Structure 1
Amino acid sequence: MSRCVYCNQRKGKRSCPALTGLICSQCCGEHRLTRITCPPDCDYLDTGSDYQQKRLGEQFAPVRRELYRQLSVAGGEKAAALFNLIEVVTFGYFHDRRDGQDAEVFAAIQALRRTLSPLHVPSAPMPVFAERLKKEYDTFVKQQPQQITDAGSAPEILDRALALLTEFSGQDFQSRRFLNGMIGYVKTFHPEIAEHLTKQHEAGRIVLPGQLTPPPEPPHVHGPECHHHHH
């Protein structure tokens, strides 16, 4: 039989243009775009990433629910609103980018945490997504300061978020597990929000959690009274 050109163990079933040979579906799914430089016109990219996002979205749902529970206990609705903002900005920025990596999201959350610290001394320029997240946070605080956690409480909230997200992402520096899980979660369980955020991103507008869902839906996709995240 033709062995997979990547693992050389399982049977190769798919033609891989990047590796010019047959690859097994498991290696294709796990390593595409991270360890394998796939050409953008590969037939397996779209179908594979949609399936993978849905599967990881279902795995991410209980992790996300636990995170919101912890955040609500630590800082109530305002703490949950801060992570909601991170999710919204992350989805808008990465939902159509195949080259995004979890490390970019973590670096942005860490950068935001540093800028909110009283001891912060600005150093090197921030990465692009970190700049975007900081800008969106500043805008939200300016427009709706009573709805989101303040700079004093934010570092602890961001630490909790980072711990859970790192655990979900795994040890691989080039992982996309969190991004695929979060994007897959929104697309699978909240397709109307996914569509709304995609349109907003295309229009280049600032996205705020208060604008997440059109009335009569509640303004946030979280909170003890809301059943959105109990899937």
Structure 2
Amino acid sequence: MSRCISCNKKKGKRRCPALSGLICTECCGTKRLKEINCPPDCTYLKEAQLYSIVRVEEKPADFQRKQWDLFWYFESLIYKFLLEFSSFTDEELLDVISLMEKEYQTRKKNLFLPSLHPRSTRASKLKSILEEEFTKLEKQVNDFGLPIFTLDDFLKVLSFEKERIERYMRKNRNVGNNLFIQVLRSEVEAFTVQRRREKIYE
């Protein structure tokens, strides 16, 4: 019988990537993120976080259809970025979105504000990706030559996402530094499956 690499008493049933061995369920449950430096991609950590988190109400009643479309596109861009940077944190994402929100608020007032830079290099990369895609969307017009998306649309999506991250971080302290990112990933994956099903029945 393989004993738990942590307590050396009970049977080790789970592979622990942080300790490079088998760990018992009790040690895994009580010591994760406290005594054990769990990597963000640990399956058991993700399951525990998503199971135990306090969910946040996330459906603003005044969102229009085009704003929901913009929101899901925005989240899909972040999702693609996270495929390359799996250790990206909620704090970094909040930094990016807060700066973009501030820039759009300034533009709405017809004021000039130099481009703001996030604290980390990879956060700066995500911000550049989002800004490039948003710039393309701003140039899209409908049959009447009017912009499909307005500054208000972008600002509404950014503010909504910023508030969600802040609420998740506030209501789920000590659950790891990428909880919201896991929520975002699960949302995008579920939405993608739903859209595929809808296409099948169209």
Which category of TM-score, normalised to the shorter sequence, fits these structures?
0.5 to 0.7
Query: How high is the TM-score relative to the length of structure 1?
Result: 0.56
By relative contact order (CA 8 Å, sep 6+), the higher-ranking structure is 1
Structure 1 unaligned spans of 5+: 39-43, 195-212, 218-231
Task: Name the aligned partner's letter for residue 148 of structure 2.
Answer: Q
Query: How high is the TM-score relative to the length of structure 2?
Result: 0.62
Match of 2:187 among 168, 185, 191: 185
Deviation at 1:157, TM superposition (A): 4.3
Contact 2:6–2:23 (Cα < 8 Å) also in 1: yes
RMSD: 4.5
Match of 2:177 among 167, 175, 178: 175
Aligned positions of 1:24-39 closer than 5 A? 24-25=24-25, 26-27=28-29, 31=33, 35-36=37-38
SS for the counterpart of 1:147 is: coil
SS for the counterpart of 2:139 is: helix
Check if 1:86 corresponds to 2:83.
Answer: no
Match of 1:125 among 109, 113, 117: 117
Aligned positions of 1:209-220 closer than 5 A? none
Contact 2:13–2:22 (Cα < 8 Å) also in 1: yes
Q: Which residue of 2 aligns with 1:197?
A: none
Q: Deviations over 1:31-60 (max 9, x none)?
A: 4xx93358xxxxx94xx279739x839x89
Percentage of matched positions with identical amino acids: 20
Q: How many positions carry a matched residue from both structures?
A: 180
The higher radius of gyration belongs to 2
Cα distance in 1, alignment partners of residues 112 and 131 from structure 2? 14
Q: Which residue of 2 aligns with 1:100?
A: 88
Deviation at 1:104, TM superposition (A): 2.4
Q: Deviations over 1:164-199 (max 9, x none)?
A: 2322343359522122122123324533769xxxxx
- Identify if the C-alpha distance between structure 1 residues 18 and 88 changes in structure 2 by more than 3 Å, giving closer, same or farther: closer
Contact 1:95–1:183 (Cα < 8 Å) also in 2: no
Structure 2 unaligned spans of 5+: 119-123
Q: Which residue of 1 aligns with 2:50?
A: 56
Task: Name the aligned partner's letter for residue 142 of structure 1.
Answer: K
Q: Which residue of 1 aligns with 2:160?
A: 160
Q: Which residue of 2 aligns with 1:134?
A: 131
